[in-house]
Structure 1
């Protein structure tokens, strides 16, 4: 079982140009998208969050159930659902502004236990920024790692939500001893101001950096550096692409019996290139569709990565 811990929210996506373009609600949130992508790939998955009892919250849970994601660890609240207003640029990239005051997911508390059979827990995005929930997610990360559970982190930086960047950067470094796999974008890496070698020295077995259409690179604690190119596709938007990469990496590691620090460290160049290629292809399919619509397993059947 792979547990994804973090926010579920509603993306409001413009259906045209200009500040007054009509907005269409879409189910979203980085961790939520990761859980849906894992479910579609066929990995046993559970979602751990706090979700509103409003109509948006019910729709969020309905999709998880339809995808086969276990929702028994989802806490509920009467507060409203978080809203994220997306602005999509000409190249398909998305920028968000958030409406988060008094919303349900901010009040997440540490669960008494993780679901039985939990092998990995994935964290990231707004849930590790917005208090008081951020402290609870951080505690869950540290506790899970201390018990030998594989932990994955995608910071997925949203600068508009971070009032004190220096304090966040320090907190990020303090998370790393409790992280098995760090995945982040080039933009995240620049904002954080660190390097893969520095982050690896702090704890993770591997650091995966996404480079948009240019592909992905993994850096390993043993000194390996392996890359794959991006899959060429007509981009509709990039919403959910990074979350799909998270899911594909976790799914692929699970399939290889490598959901442990030692297991990930034992992967060789061919293993990593195959895994990164799988993630690149999955993300490309997501980018070819509007909104966060990650692929199902059958859409990736028979695919082999390109030569690097």
Structure 2
């Protein structure tokens, strides 16, 4: 649950449903592709609201685990540039106690990211799912340095994930933090296609052939950027599903024109999200209008 500054009552906070993989699931579900959420959600009031929003966004909740632990809170502030910054209250919360199912649900694409792969014991459970899924995996590290106690250990762990990842999606700030250097140079060295979000500068991808493809940001009026990167991630998943891209080999074979189409689609979705307060990804009908 994000607690974000209220634009109606300055100085106060309003609750907004959120969380990286959660926003991705909502974005993909709203864009009309079959989406399921695999996580643990609290049985508290916030948890009930989180689950209901998944249902309202046509996300399958069959694999959602529920527990009595509280919901994680992220207090969001908005910087002068409209960007989000967070303080987290995550000790002993429900999502950290996720357990990997003995039998994984059927899937064609697996999406993972953000704090789910940082905070134990859940992080190891999600990593177990990644190792066992044997499907096209899309990863957004979504770095929150304040929650990473040992950056060197995290960077080493990230490198161990890469053989199981078919597509990376991350911000240029996150790529620079992980690589401790230039984001594009880092993406050129990573073994999978990598989409990089660059805020108002648009989107880039280093393709499977090592080619850099860039598209500008879609025109919009920015209210705040909460959920923008997650919307890009969810829209990329929707595009991959629509184009029947289900394997690493297919993904690596995409040419520059196909990637431009994918990035424009994702950018159009994100442009709608940033025009609203909080993480409110568009439904498919809105995206058609937005394009």
TM-score relative to the length of structure 2:
0.95
Contact 1:178 1:203 in 2 (8 A): no
Cα-to-partner distance string for 1:78-129 (whole Å, 9 max, x where unaligned): 110000000011221000000001111111111122333x101100001111
Aligned length: 289
Q: Partner of 1:174 in structure 2?
A: 160
Matched, 1:121 2:110: yes
Q: How does 1:1-308 map to 2 (within 5 A)?
A: 10-15=1-6, 21-116=11-106, 118-144=107-133, 147=134, 149-193=135-179, 195=183, 202-204=190-192, 206-301=193-288
Unaligned ranges ≥5, structure 2: none
Query: Hey, what's the Cα distance between the residues in 2 that align with 1:61 and 1:171?
Result: 31
**1:22 positional shift:** 1.0
Query: Hey, what's the Cα distance between the residues in 2 that align with 1:301 and 1:129?
Result: 36
| Greater shift in the superposed pair: 260-269 or 156-165 | 260-269
Contact 2:272 2:290 in 1 (8 A): no
**1:17 positional shift:** 11
Query: Hey, what's the Cα distance between the residues in 2 that align with 1:91 and 1:265?
Result: 35
Query: Hey, what's the Cα distance between the residues in 2 that align with 1:282 and 1:176?
Result: 27
TM-score relative to the length of structure 1:
0.90
Contact 1:196 1:207 in 2 (8 A): no
Cα-to-partner distance string for 1:58-80 (whole Å, 9 max, x where unaligned): 11001101111001111111110
Query: Hey, what's the Cα distance between the residues in 2 that align with 1:198 and 1:169?
Result: 13
Query: Hey, what's the Cα distance between the residues in 1 that align with 2:223 and 2:276?
Result: 6
Contact 2:3 2:14 in 1 (8 A): yes
**1:303 positional shift:** 6.1
Query: Hey, what's the Cα distance between the residues in 1 that align with 2:290 and 2:168?
Result: 25
Determine helix, strand or coil for the equivalent of 1:28.
coil
Query: Hey, what's the Cα distance between the residues in 2 that align with 1:199 and 1:71?
Result: 34
Contact 2:188 2:210 in 1 (8 A): no
Contact 1:249 1:279 in 2 (8 A): yes
Cα RMSD after superposing both structures: 1.8
